Amino acid sequence: MPRPRHRLVSTCVGTVTAGLLATGAALAAPDEEAPKGSDTAMGAYLGYGPPGVARIPYLSHWLGGREIRVGHTYLPGDQWPGIEGDVTFLADWAEWRRARDDRMFVLNVPMQARNEDRVPDWQVVQLIRAGAEGQYDRHFRKLAERLVALGVPDTVIVLGWEMNGTTYTHRCGPDPEHWKAYWKRIVTTMRSVPGQRFKFDFAPNRGTDAIGWTKCYPGDDVVDVIGMDSYDQGPGRTFEEHVSQPYGLQQHVDFAKAHGKQISYPEWGLFRNGDNAEYVRQMLKWIEQHKPLYHTITDYCPHGVWRCKQNPQSAKVFREAMGEHKPAEPTPNVPTPPVVPTPPVVPTPPVVPKPDLPTPQVPTPQFPTPAVPKPGLPKPEVPKPDVPKPDVPKPDVPKPDVPKPDVPRPEAPKPDVPAPQTPAPEASVPPVGPAPVDPAPAPVEPTPALPEPEPVPVTPSPEVTVPPPLPPEPSPEPSPEVPVPAPPVLSPSPLAPRPQPTAPTPTPTVPKPEPKPQPNNSRQWCLPLDFGEWLNGFFGNQSVCFRFDWGKDSGFWPF
């Protein structure tokens, strides 16, 4: 009795095993037949804000009325206010999501500001560790509160996407351990907000890239969905290589199953190989077999199939596979007269007049965010004060007309030089008759005896204040070697007055009285004595007069 039972049990076990093997084989490779639609939530990235929301019904119409269940957008990663959700377009997406219960809102959230600024690895390490210490918790708490306030608490948050690459500042490679700690802090902070029901999607790039993405996995307790971004590019030249390569599509599916998580494809599309319809066909087969939570094709050039007109073959495959196919109604069995055979009618979707819609251009999203400086602290453009250099005029100090060292003549003349009181001719020739009157009375006082050289200072008189020398002028100090003044040259012609030296403080110069010229028949000749300007000012103007009698009776008349 027990043997039949054992045989029956063995038969059942073998049947189940064979079924499991067949199921595993089905997971390993896509079916040969093209999929006829899928129950997986499908969407496309069509733009950041209101333009992206507005394009959804047109994409649905292009697909024959298929419902677009996934709305996908990104928060800007240049400044922290954008990461906090302080952007107006979130309200537009929240309104679209609330319109139907079966819709899904997918939001990519950066983990760092300046997320696309090519920040070097050493600085990324500092930012990751600062986040792991909780320095950025407040930003993500504000984001969670805003999403709950907008009525989308069940948003799927693709946090720190493509972290295994090199493009973004929130990359994992420079410090994987602290990066995982930072992810946990963000998730814990956002889950602490009352009313939230967020799902956190861990979505690396397909392939190894800079680091194997499993080394960045933060843990099952803080991950709800394991996604993957997969474009038609290396590593791998064919779709089969995309499946079998290390950290490729197959390892993604196996890893998610081992951790009990759903999978997703937040970003996929064409890229390096142009209009590759085979890639689109194979990717749609893979999605149909493995039933991800959602998938969204990146629909702009060069990745897209609807708005990018340079990929017509891929667009055709995508439209046939994802379009809404309605079966034709059966023809009633009523006897009819024989008719000419006609080609079979292929069931096609009802012809709906297609609006002549130009391909909308994706405008650059306008984020009404305050101009908050980036963490890199850009240098403020402080205008340099245009301080004019003070045009300090050089003091226009009038250069005193200081005579050269020979003018002051500081040396006193020898006492015996100016002593011509009694000329020799007057002593030898007695005057005849009354003395003629000097026709040019000059203020000549009796020549006093010359004072001793005691009051005459050798150095310049203290009354003459020599101004301090200017930088470009030579020092006005008198030369120690002053030549002895030459004796005055006796000449019958009157001497012109010499200019009086000017002191530093300009004073009016009183010209000397010029002696009147002597008449031709004058018997008296007076010669002015010139002892220099300084001594003349001390003694006054002096002169020596000679009287001659050249008459016939004088004895000197030669004729």
pTM above 0.85, yes or no: no
- Can you tell me the mean pLDDT for 223-248? 97
Helix (H) or strand (E) holding 266: strand 262-269
Residue-level pLDDT at 407: 46
Who contacts 76 (Cβ-Cβ below 8 Å, separation ≥6)? 82, 83, 87, 110, 365, 367, 369
Residue 520 backbone dihedrals phi, psi, to 5 degrees: -65, -30
In order, the DSSP letters of 436-450 are PP-SS-------PPP
Who contacts 103 (Cβ-Cβ below 8 Å, separation ≥6)? 69, 70, 71, 96, 97
177 vs 506, more confident: 177
Q: Are 57 and 69 in contact (CB under 8 A)?
A: no
365 vs 68, more confident: 68
Q: Are 222 and 183 in contact (CB under 8 A)?
A: yes
**Cα–Cα distance measured from residue 226 to residue 208, given in angstroms and rounded to the nearest whole number:** 16
**Cα–Cα distance measured from residue 72 to residue 52, given in angstroms and rounded to the nearest whole number:** 9
> In sequence order, what are the beta bridge partners of 227?
264
Q: If you compute the radius of gyration of the chain from its CA atoms, what whole number of angstroms results?
A: 58
pLDDT digits (tens, 9 = 90+) for 396-436: 555 555 555 454 454 544 545 444 454 444 444 444 444 44
The second-level CATH assignment, the architecture, of 24-322 is: Alpha-Beta Barrel (3.20)
- Which DSSP state fits 552? G
User: With the CA atoms of 353, 355, 359 and 365 taken in that order, what torsion angle do they form, in degrees rounded to the nearest 10?
Assistant: -130
- Which DSSP state fits 481? -
Q: Are 296 and 229 in contact (CB under 8 A)?
A: no
- Can you tell me the mean pLDDT for 7-23? 41
Nearest to 43 by CA among 83, 74, 71: 71
27 vs 500, more confident: 500
Residue-level pLDDT at 178: 98
Residues of the chain with CATH 3.20.20.80: 24-322
| Residue 305, pLDDT above cutoff 70 | yes
Residue-level pLDDT at 324: 78
| pLDDT confidence bin for 350, thresholds 50/70/90 | very low
99 vs 368, more confident: 99
Count other Cβ atoms within 10 Å, centred on residue 78.
17
Helix axes 89-98, 50-62, angle to 10 degrees: 40
| Residue 471, pLDDT above cutoff 80 | no
Cis peptide leading into 235, omega within 30 of 0? yes
467 vs 93, more confident: 93
Which range among 151-155, 217-221, 335-339 shows the weakest confidence by mean pLDDT?
Answer: 335-339
Residue 299 backbone dihedrals phi, psi, to 5 degrees: -105, 70
Q: Are 265 and 300 in contact (CB under 8 A)?
A: no
3-state SS of 71-131?
Answer: EEEECCCCCHHHHCCCCCHHHHHHHHHHCCCCCEEEEEECCCCCCCCCCCHHHHHHHHHHH
Residue-level pLDDT at 374: 46
| Residue 376, pLDDT above cutoff 60 | no
b/e 391-403 (16+ beta carbons within 10 angstroms → b): eeeeeeeeebebe
**Cα–Cα distance measured from residue 354 to residue 34, given in angstroms and rounded to the nearest whole number:** 26
Which range among 121-135, 169-183, 216-230, 526-540 shows the weakest confidence by mean pLDDT?
Answer: 526-540
Nearest to 205 by CA among 156, 165, 245: 165
Residue-level pLDDT at 325: 60
- Can you tell me the mean pLDDT for 294-320? 97
pLDDT digits (tens, 9 = 90+) for 548-558: 655 555 555 44
- Can you tell me the mean pLDDT for 243-251? 98
Cα three-residue angle 297-303-305, rounded to 5 degrees: 70
Residue-level pLDDT at 45: 97
Residue-level pLDDT at 527: 72
374 vs 90, more confident: 90
pLDDT digits (tens, 9 = 90+) for 41-64: 999 999 999 999 999 999 999 999
92 vs 39, more confident: 92
Residue-level pLDDT at 393: 53
Residue 121 backbone dihedrals phi, psi, to 5 degrees: -60, -40
Which range among 172-186, 188-202, 210-224, 443-457 shows the weakest confidence by mean pLDDT?
Answer: 443-457
Counting Cβ atoms within 10 Å, is residue 420 exposed (0-12), middle (13-18) or buried (19+)? middle
Residue 289 backbone dihedrals phi, psi, to 5 degrees: -75, -40
Please report which residue ranges of 354-502 form alpha helices under DSSP H.
Answer: 424-428
**Cα–Cα distance measured from residue 284 to residue 301, given in angstroms and rounded to the nearest whole number:** 19
- Can you tell me the mean pLDDT for 538-542? 68
Residue-level pLDDT at 144: 98
**Cα–Cα distance measured from residue 161 to residue 87, given in angstroms and rounded to the nearest whole number:** 20
**Cα–Cα distance measured from residue 266 to residue 262, given in angstroms and rounded to the nearest whole number:** 13
Residue-level pLDDT at 552: 52
Nearest to 526 by CA among 434, 388, 375, 421: 421
**Cα–Cα distance measured from residue 283 to residue 233, given in angstroms and rounded to the nearest whole number:** 13
% of the chain residues with pLDDT over 70: 53
Counting Cβ atoms within 10 Å, is residue 475 exposed (0-12), middle (13-18) or buried (19+)? exposed
**Cα–Cα distance measured from residue 210 to residue 104, given in angstroms and rounded to the nearest whole number:** 31
Q: Are 530 and 488 in contact (CB under 8 A)?
A: yes
| Residue 8, pLDDT above cutoff 60 | no
Tokens 């004088």 belong to residue = 554
- Alpha carbon distance, N-terminus to C-terminus of the chain: 199
149 vs 521, more confident: 149
The three-state secondary structure class of 178 is helix
Tokens 């004895």 belong to residue = 555
- Can you tell me the mean pLDDT for 103-121? 97
